[in-house]
């Protein structure tokens, strides 16, 4: 079997096990339907996305495997990604603890289902980004053959990957049945903005044509707002 596929399978299995631990150890019960629904939605979506890359774009899969603070090239991005990962874990763990100890009023079941639907929609948006841009690595870098992508979702905003991920961070607490988890959403937004601003600085300097693209595509993240 191709070594890349072996790495992908190992990373996927270990990631799912860690995810299960984050969801159900703090809950201290498996009787948590919101947790199972979120795990199924997130896990199935991530798996389908990985299968797409494995079948149609192995180079993209390899780029996406190298992720996290340790894979970043600059100290600033290492710090930013550390805070981003901490914020995401907190946005999962706090709702789980809220479920266990009933800190906040119960979230209606239909809202949790809507939250899961928003998570699935996020992965669809991310899929569209990856299909349009084979160079969409998990870290900030520029490949020697990389070109500016200005079509598809990149014609709407300059950072559609981050825009696509926003519903995940916003709706995860609701999907998990917690109001308290929403307090981490405002904390995550500044971290995301710092990352994309630093990324833009790097791309303007290292990717030919990006400055012109940034002039034509006005909005970075949300059309009409930012």
pLDDT digits (tens, 9 = 90+) for 47-68: 999 999 999 999 888 888 877 7
Q: With 90 as the cut, is the pLDDT of residue 98 above it? A: yes
CB within 8 A of 192, min separation 6: which ones?
Answer: 84, 162, 166, 221
pLDDT digits (tens, 9 = 90+) for 163-210: 999 999 999 999 999 999 898 788 888 888 999 999 999 999 999 999
Please give the angle made by the CA atoms of 13, 14 and 16, to the nearest 5 degrees.
65
* Model pTM above 0.85: yes
Mean pLDDT score of the chain = 91
Q: With 70 as the cut, is the pLDDT of residue 1 above it? A: no
Calculate what percentage of the chain has a pLDDT beyond 70: 100
Q: Which domains does the chain have, with CATH numbers?
A: 3-216 (1.20.120.1630)
């Amino acid at each position: 079997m191709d070594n890349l596929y072996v790495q992908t399978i190992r990373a996927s299995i270990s990631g799912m096990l860690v995810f299960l631990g984050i969801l159900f150890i703090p809950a201290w019960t498996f009787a948590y339907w919101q947790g199972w629904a979120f795990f199924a939605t997130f896990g199935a979506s991530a798996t389908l996305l990985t299968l797409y890359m494995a079948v149609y774009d192995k180079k993209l899969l390899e780029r996406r495997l190298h992720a996290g603070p340790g894979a970043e090239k600059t100290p600033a991005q290492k710090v930013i990604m550390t805070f981003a990962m901490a914020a995401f874990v907190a946005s999962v763990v706090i709702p789980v603890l809220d479920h266990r100890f009933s800190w906040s009023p119960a979230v209606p079941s239909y809202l949790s289902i809507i939250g899961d639907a928003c998570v699935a929609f996020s992965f669809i948006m991310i899929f569209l980004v990856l299909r349009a841009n084979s160079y969409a690595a998990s870290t900030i870098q520029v490949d020697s053959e990389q070109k500016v992508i200005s079509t598809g979702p990149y014609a709407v905003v300059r950072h559609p990957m981050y825009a696509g991920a926003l519903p995940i961070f916003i709706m995860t607490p609701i999907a998990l049945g917690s109001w308290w988890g929403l307090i981490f959403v405002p904390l995550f937004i500044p971290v995301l903005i710092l990352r994309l601003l630093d990324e833009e600085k790097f791309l303007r300097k290292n990717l030919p044509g990006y400055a012109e693209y940034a002039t034509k595509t006005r909005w970075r993240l949300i059309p009409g707002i930012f």
